[in-house]
């Protein structure tokens, strides 16, 4: 009681675009106030109603966010039986009592009894919980399998690592790969497929930047028709964006990520201490994704200190991806600036760093959106400069972008901060002019 389950649950449901069920509220709607149920029928009768509602709500077809009553420890075996993911919303007893004192809750009338009940229930909550959280971001991260922990905590049966990262941090890897986008090739994927000696119960760990997790995740998705994998992103790009959401793939000469799969990692382990060894250029690459996320969320996330910045960005992307795991709706917003960015990367033969290309892509998208303030923000924060690429190759790659449909180029623009729109209504001449403005 008093953990904030309803407040946090409603926010998580909004982010994941799922129905929200607050069991105490639904029981009261069907059977009258809980304090009267306790008074007239006793706690055991209420627990029977609670178990019935838990089974009914959890057994429905559509995924939902459910706030179970504080006494749901009584139904903990049922929660496991139904296969739901359970998050313990952590709260200290003083805070909980301050929130419920003076209310009509039947089990919150005597402070001494309340504190005893808290102590008695605590180990039961911990036993049933799959994860713990203190806020909506924490619940989303837990649901997405994302945890903040030392990189050495990621254990598996084989480790694919960026050779530079492995050497820098003294990691012994089973399979070393070169860093950067040039590693995402059919030849490199085949090399890993042939070198692996795993069975279908095995877990592959990927340590490195976004290119390494993309490649290793794609290999895991296709080896033996799919094995588990764990992403351990070592760059800011990877921790705030690339390693989250289950999109994995490799590049073809005609375009970026044209061969890929949706293969959500069994876990994503984020160790922000890995960022301490990143060169400034890599941090600038990641900052472009932070700015993109801030524009999409409508919050200046780039102003936060780095640890909180990573957490907020990761939670934002995780929520969008959980709401649309197969990229058929709201997930398209994450492509803000990336249609142009991927075209520039292809036009350069993947020599341009991803973050530099994204910074330019954001500039083009904001110009087409007519947002002068946000355009100035991107210019001030990221200092994008035109790059030398093959113009025709870039234009061809833009037309082959994965979001293109029926010959029309779909772009993500902004109506304003936090208000993304996907449109294919921009005239090709304006799109071409926007692309050309990014090329030296």
258-313 pLDDT, tens per residue? 899 999 999 999 999 999 999 999 999 999 999 999 999 999 999 999 999 999 99
pLDDT of residue 72: 64
Largest interatomic CA distance in the chain = 78
Mean per-residue pLDDT, 176-204 = 95
Mean pLDDT calculated for residue range 173-191: 93
pLDDT in tens, 147-165: 999 999 999 999 999 999 9
16 has pLDDT over 60: yes
Maximum average pLDDT range among 43-52, 369-378, 393-402? 369-378
Tokens 């000469």, residue located: 253
- pLDDT at residue 136 in the model: 97
Collect all residues with Cβ–Cβ distance below 8 Å to 8 and sequence separation of at least 6: 67, 89, 133, 135, 136, 139
Q: Which domains does the chain show, CATH number per domain?
A: 5-135 (3.40.50.300), 148-278 (3.40.50.1970), 330-436 (1.20.1090.10)
pLDDT for 407 beyond 90: no
Mean pLDDT value of segment 84-93: 91
Among residues 163, 259, 181, the alpha carbon closest in space to that of 218 is found at 259
- Separation of alpha carbons 30 and 217, rounded Å: 47
pLDDT-derived band at 40, boundaries 50, 70, 90: confident
Residue 31 confidence (pLDDT): 83
Q: Residue 414's pLDDT is what?
A: 97
Provide, rounded to the nearest whole percent, the portion of the chain with pLDDT above 90: 69
Burial tier of 339 (Cβ tally within 10 Å: 0-12, 13-18, 19+):
buried
pLDDT reading at 237 higher than 90: yes
pLDDT number for residue 28: 82
pLDDT of amino acid 367? 96
**What is the Cα–Cα distance from 211 to 249, expressed in whole angstroms?**
9
Residue 100 has pLDDT above 90, yes or no: no
pLDDT digits (tens, 9 = 90+) for 198-228: 999 999 999 999 999 999 999 999 999 999 9
pLDDT score of 402 more than 60: no
Residue located via tokens 């496991």: 80
Q: In this structure, what token pair is assigned to residue 415? A: 């109506």
Can you tell me the mean pLDDT for 375-398? 94
Stretch 16-23: mean pLDDT, rounded?
Answer: 92
Higher-scoring residue by pLDDT: 49, 21: 21
pLDDT reported for residue 125: 86
Indicate the average pLDDT of the chain. 91
More confident call, 165 vs 253? 165
Flag whether pLDDT at 71 surpasses 70.
Answer: no
pLDDT at position 30 over 90: no
* Range of lowest pLDDT (75-84, 201-210, 240-249): 75-84
């Amino acid at each position: 009681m008093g953990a904030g389950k309803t407040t946090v649950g409603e926010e998580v449901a909004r982010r994941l675009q799922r129905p929200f069920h607050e069991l105490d509220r639904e029981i009261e709607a069907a059977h009258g106030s809980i304090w009267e149920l306790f008074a007239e029928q006793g706690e055991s009768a209420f627990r029977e109603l609670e178990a019935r509602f838990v089974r009914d709500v959890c057994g429905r077809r559509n995924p939902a966010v459910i706030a179970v009553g504080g006494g749901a420890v009584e139904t903990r075996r049922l929660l496991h039986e139904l296969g739901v993911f359970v998050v313990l919303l952590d709260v200290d007893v003083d805070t909980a009592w301050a929130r419920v004192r003076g209310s009509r809750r039947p089990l919150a009338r005597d402070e001494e009894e309340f504190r005893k009940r808290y102590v008695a229930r605590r180990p039961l909550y911990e036993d049933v919980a799959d994860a713990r959280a203190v806020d909506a971001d924490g619940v989303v991260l837990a649901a997405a399998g994302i945890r903040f922990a030392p990189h050495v905590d990621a254990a598996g049966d084989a480790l694919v690592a960026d050779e530079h990262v492995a050497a820098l941090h003294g990691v012994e890897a089973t399979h070393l790969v070169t860093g950067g986008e040039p590693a995402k090739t059919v030849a490199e994927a085949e090399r890993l497929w042939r070198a692996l000696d795993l069975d279908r119960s095995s877990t592959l760990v990927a340590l490195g930047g976004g290119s390494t997790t993309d490649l290793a995740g794609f290999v895991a998705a296709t080896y033996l028709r799919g094995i588990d994998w764990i992403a351990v992103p070592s760059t800011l790009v990877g921790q705030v964006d690339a390693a989250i959401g289950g999109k994995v793939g490799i590049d073809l000469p005609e375009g970026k990520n044209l061969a890929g799969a949706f293969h959500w990692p069994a876990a994503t382990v984020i160790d922000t201490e890995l960022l301490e060894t990143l060169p400034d250029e890599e941090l600038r690459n990641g900052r472009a994704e932070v700015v993109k996320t801030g524009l999409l969320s409508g919050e200046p996330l780039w102003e936060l200190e780095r640890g909180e910045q990573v957490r907020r960005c990761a939670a934002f992307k995780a929520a969008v991806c959980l709401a649309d795991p197969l990229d058929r709706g709201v997930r398209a917003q994450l492509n803000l600036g990336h249609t142009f960015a991927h075209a520039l990367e292809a036009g350069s033969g993947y020599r341009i760093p991803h973050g530099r290309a994204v910074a330019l892509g954001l500039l083009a998208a904001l110009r087409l959106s007519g947002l002068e303030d946000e355009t100035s923000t991107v210019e001030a924060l990221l200092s994008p400069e035109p790059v030398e690429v093959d113009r025709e190759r870039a234009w061809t790659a833009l037309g082959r972008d994965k979001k293109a449909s029926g010959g029309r180029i779909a772009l993500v623009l902004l109506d304003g901060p936090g208000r993304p729109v996907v449109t294919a209504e921009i005239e090709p001449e304006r799109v071409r002019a926007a692309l050309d403005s990014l090329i030296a």
